[in-house]
Amino acid sequence: MAPEQTAAALDGGSAAAPDSADRTASAATSGAGWVAMAAVGLAVFVVFTILLLDRVTIPFDVPLLDAVRPWVGDGTIWRVLSESANIPLIVIGVGMVVVLFLTHRRREAVLVAVALIAITAGSEGVKQLVARPRPEGTDPNIPGVVYSYPSGHVLEALTIFGIIAIHIVRSHAARWLAAIVVLAVVVDTFLVGLSRLVLDAHWPSDAVASAFAAVGVLGVYGLMTHGNAWATKRSDGAGDHGHAVRPDHDTAAG
């Protein structure tokens, strides 16, 4: 090999090693971010749950609820916002599972389906466990209105739209578009939670704790679909023998 070629090869090798190390370090940092997100979100939810099981009064509940109750007006806009996190969310969630399955991301489809079932069943289970009465003024004729904590509307809205946001942030979409999607998810979750308060369906702590729970679920989802994790494998039509890593694993979504 000529001296020039030897030098070029050495230069290429020395450049490739740091680049590989940088990618490894970035992946590790991103993974740690998902772990922290899951741990903090779920821990805060558990703390709220324990406090409410002990019938501890949350200091900000009554003042905040009293502050937003006068905003109800005829209630139309608030009911629309509230119902946007009901049947439409079910359609979006099922549609997401179907799309993932049909595009051979079947492991991830299973993960999404399990996550959605878990948060729905888990929410109802915690309601029965804590048995927190809803605020006075809640319409007793609304079907299924029994207990207040947690808010299934907030939990499911942030989880479903958050999963969609993770996919967009990890995709090749422009950064400004990804930022708008993330902001839209935050605003939508806030408005859904606010509508539940204005309609007297929940205490403020119900919505806050549910948002943290959803953040925890998204952290778990992000970790399980991070890099070369099991759920990122694609399966071919013959089963689960041919796998390829998804192109949209973490670069900026950690």
In a domain, 252, yes or no: no
Predicted TM-score (pTM) above 0.85: no
Which pLDDT band, with edges at 50, 70 and 90, does 245 fall under?
Answer: very low
Residue 248 belongs to a domain: no
The answer to whether residue 5 is domain-embedded is no
**pLDDT at res. 244:** 40
Residue 9: inside a domain: no
Task: Give the pLDDT band (50/70/90) at residue 70.
Answer: very high
Q: Nearest to residue 195, comparing CAs of 106, 76, 24?
A: 76
Q: Is residue 17 part of a domain?
A: no
pLDDT computed for residue 247 by the predictor? 44
pLDDT at 114: 94
- Is residue 53 predicted with pLDDT exceeding 80? yes
> For residue 34, which amino acid is it?
W
Q: In percent, how much of the chain has pLDDT > 90?
A: 62
Q: Does residue 253 fall inside a structural domain?
A: no
Average pLDDT value for the chain: 82
Its domain, for residue 204, covers 26-232
pLDDT at 23: 54
**Per residue in 11-27, pLDDT tens?**
444 444 455 555 555 55
38 touches 220 (CB < 8 A): yes
The identity of residue 49, as a single letter, is T
Number of domain units in the chain: 1
Q: Tell the residue number behind the tokens 């403020």, with chain if given.
A: 204
Give me the pLDDT at residue 2, please: 53
Residue 244 lies inside a defined structural domain of this protein: no
* Mean pLDDT, range 231-250, rounded to an integer: 48
Contact 57, 134 (CB under 8 A): no
pLDDT tens, 156-171?
999 999 999 999 998 8
HEC sequence for the chain: CCHHHHHHHHHHHHHHHHHHHHHHHHHHHHHHHHHHHHHHHHHHHHHHHHHHHCCCCCCCHHHHHHHHHHHHCCCHHHHHHHHCCCHHHHHHHHHHHHHHHHCCCHHHHHHHHHHHHHHHHHHHHHHHHHCCECCCCCCCCCCCCCECCCCHHHHHHHHHHHHHHHHHHHCCCCHHHHHHHHHHHHHHHHHHHHHHHHCCCCCHHHHHHHHHHHHHHHHHHHHHCCCCCHHHECCCCCCCCCCCECCCCCCCCC
* pLDDT reading at 7 higher than 70: no
State pLDDT tens for residues 188-235. Answer: 999 999 999 999 999 999 999 999 999 999 999 999 998 777 777 655
- Dihedral sign for Cα 143, 58, 78, 156, please: negative
Q: CB–CB of 86/79 below 8 Å? A: no
Angle between helices 204-224 and 3-53 (to 10 degrees): 150
Is 81 among the domain residues? yes
- Token reading at 101: 């399955």
pLDDT of residue 138: 58
